[in-house]
Structures are given as structure tokens and as C-alpha cells.
Amino acid sequence: MENDEHIIQRIEDILGGLSDNFRILDHQVDVDLQMEYFEFSRNQEKPQSIESVINAESELYDEGVADESKRSLLVSLASIEKPEAYRIIERFVPLAKPELRDWAIMAKLESRMLLETTFSDESQIFISTGLGGREGKLRYFVAIFSESEAEFSETQKRLVISEIEMALGKTDGQLESVSYHHNYLAFLLLLPISVAVKDPIKTAIDECNSLAPFVKDDFIITNVKVLSDKEVDDIISGKSEYDIEE
């Protein structure tokens, strides 16, 4: 995993004076599917007849139409600078079957950004990660480990969670969820893109260990996906492409 501080610095450099003109993908969409969508969108020719594409809305709901054709239609709709095209995608997203839902979400976002760029005359910047985000913040998966390599006690769990919430509160971050595992706690949290993501985690660990060290200094953080127990174990044992932060 690339150093998160470098990633954030690059994002800030790109945003520059356009800090109000960026969109973060809210939903958790697999990174491979995101790349597939952008490749498909880049290679597909713009429709020659806008009206024929807009009038083809019923095909999205027709079970006789192949999924690949529906994907193509969604990409075509997303390339049309008309609110009607956006509304068609917007109506379809909550009704899409699982195989098409994430694709439709990507099309909706592309359509929205096209319209905002067209009507505001300002460039829009799109930031997407596998875990998405919310309200201008990116979502991260974090794993914090027990020094004893055994399960945290109930008191230790409460202390770690309390310190995480306190550290996030100082950076306008937010704790979304906690899950308990054999030798680690896993968190889903939101942080503004301007925050060096490792800092609040390090602060929380330092506070936990200020009296008696029971949390390892090393931790895992990624915005690509929620890691399984096996994936976490592979990282710890050095069998994974992800790095452990120190």
C-alpha cells in the first residue's frame, strides 16, 4: 500500500483552489470494477442520437436485454449533458439487480459530474477508493493489534474505542463501526482528505499505552477494501502486498 500521507498530499496538490469542486464516491465499489467502468466509458463512442438513448430507458428493466447492453446504455446515458439522462440513471440505481447496481452507481456519478461541469462552467474532480466515503471524507479500514497477541479484554476494548473516537473528534473524523477479532480490533472510520490518516491512529495508540503498553505500535490501514481475517494474517506474516504501518 502506498504511503497514505503521500497520497493525501497529491490529492491536495491536485485540488489546489478547487477544493469545493470535488466529489468523493460515497458507495463501496470494488476498485477493479471502477477501473473496468472507466475503461469502458473511455473507449465507448458517444451516441449519435441522444433522443434514441434517452428513449431506451425501458431496456434497463427488460429482462430480455443482456446485462452487457444495459452497461453500454448506462455509459451512453452518463455521457449526455441533459438532466433527463441523469434522472433515468437515478431512477434505475435503487432498482438495479446486484450485478448492475455498482455499474449504475458509477454511471450516476459520472453523469452528475458532467452536468455540474456543464452548468457551473467549472471543472469537477472525482476521488474514488474501494471503500468510498461520505460528506467530503474518505473511508478507511483500520486494524489495531493486541501486544499480547490474545484478545483484548473488555476494559481494553472500551479504552481503545474511546481513544480512537477522541482522536478522530480532534480531526473532524468519525468512527462508523467496530468489529472484534481474536487478536485485533477492526474499525471503519471517516477522515477528511486533508488529514494525514496515520496521525489520529498513532495518537490513540500512544494514549492507550501511556500507562501500560497493551497495544502494538504497528497497525494496518487501507481505503481499498475491508480485509478478512485471512488477509490480515497474510499482512502480518508478510505474504500480502499490503504493508503494516509503524
Domain ranges of the chain: 30-127, 133-236
Q: Which residue has the higher pLDDT, 173 or 114?
A: 173
Q: What are the distances in angstroms from CA 91 to CA 13, 23, 85, 113?
A: 36, 20, 10, 17
CA dihedral 32, 28, 142, 194 (to 10 degrees): 100
Helix (H) or strand (E) holding 141: strand 137-146
pLDDT at residue 97 is higher than 50: yes
Instruction: Give me the mean pLDDT over the 137-146 stretch.
Output: 93
Q: Tell me: the pLDDT tens digits for 4-36?
A: 445 445 555 544 444 455 666 677 788 889 889
Asked if residue 143 lies in contact with residue 225, where contact means CB atoms within 8 angstroms, the answer is no
What is the rounded CA–CA span in Å between residue 164 and residue 171?
A: 11
Q: Which residue has the higher pLDDT, 126 or 42?
A: 42
Asked if residue 131 lies in contact with residue 226, where contact means CB atoms within 8 angstroms, the answer is yes
What is the rounded CA–CA span in Å between residue 159 and residue 156?
A: 5
What is the rounded CA–CA span in Å between residue 211 and residue 56?
A: 66
Q: Tell me: the pLDDT tens digits for 144-174?
A: 999 998 999 999 999 999 999 999 999 999 9
Reading the block at residue 13, the C-alpha cell is 496538490
Asked if residue 189 lies in contact with residue 175, where contact means CB atoms within 8 angstroms, the answer is yes
Fold of the domain spanning 133-236: Alpha-Beta Plaits (3.30.70)
pLDDT at residue 118 in the model:
75
At 2, is the pLDDT very low, low, confident or very high (cuts 50, 70, 90)? very low
Give bridge partners of residue 185 from the DSSP assignment. Answer: 144, 180
pLDDT at residue 17 in the model:
45
Reading the block at residue 43, the C-alpha cell is 473507449
SS3 68: helix
Average pLDDT taken over every residue of the chain: 85
At 1, is the pLDDT very low, low, confident or very high (cuts 50, 70, 90)? very low
Which of 87-91, 208-212, 223-227 has the highest average model confidence (pLDDT)?
A: 87-91
Q: What are the distances in angstroms from CA 109 to CA 14, 87, 88, 191, 200?
A: 20, 12, 13, 21, 30
